[in-house]
Amino acid sequence: DAGVTQSPTHLIKTRGQQVTLRCSPKSGHDTVSWYQQALGQGPQFIFQYYEEEERQRGNFPDRFSGHQFPNYSSELNVNALLLGDSALYLCASSLVYTEAFFGQGTRLTVV
């Protein structure tokens, strides 16, 4: 079992650009959540996808959007990047009432 896999591992973008991050959940998991972890901080919840729909959303602007595919994999899109979007983006997968398994994250740097 490969666990939760995220790609790419590192990414550098310019202010104003758009970025797409990808996540493949642990085998058998149907729920994917995304978190943003700024340097020196705990992860913050962005949103969660289940059955290809956004089920919960944290306090993030509409520039942050996502998608879940029929195979349960997911994408996180961020438009109009700001310097403050630089962070480690973590994907977590789970089933109902199971613990969340996290990927190793994508380190996004906005310059």
Give the footprint of another protein on this chain (CB under 8 A): 4, 31, 33, 35, 40-45, 48, 56, 58, 90, 92, 94-105
Q: Which is nearer to another protein, 14 or 42 (CB)?
A: 42
Query: Minimal distance in Å, beta carbon 83 to another protein?
Result: 21
Q: Which is nearer to another protein, 18 or 104 (CB)?
A: 104
**Residue 61: Cβ-neighbour burial (10 angstroms; 0-12, 13-18, 19+):** exposed
Kindly report the length of the chain.
Answer: 111
Q: Which is nearer to another protein, 46 or 81 (CB)?
A: 46
Query: Minimal distance in Å, beta carbon 96 to another protein?
Result: 5
3 alpha carbon, distance to own chain's centre: 15
- Residue 63 has, within 13 A of its CA and on its CB side, a CA count of 13
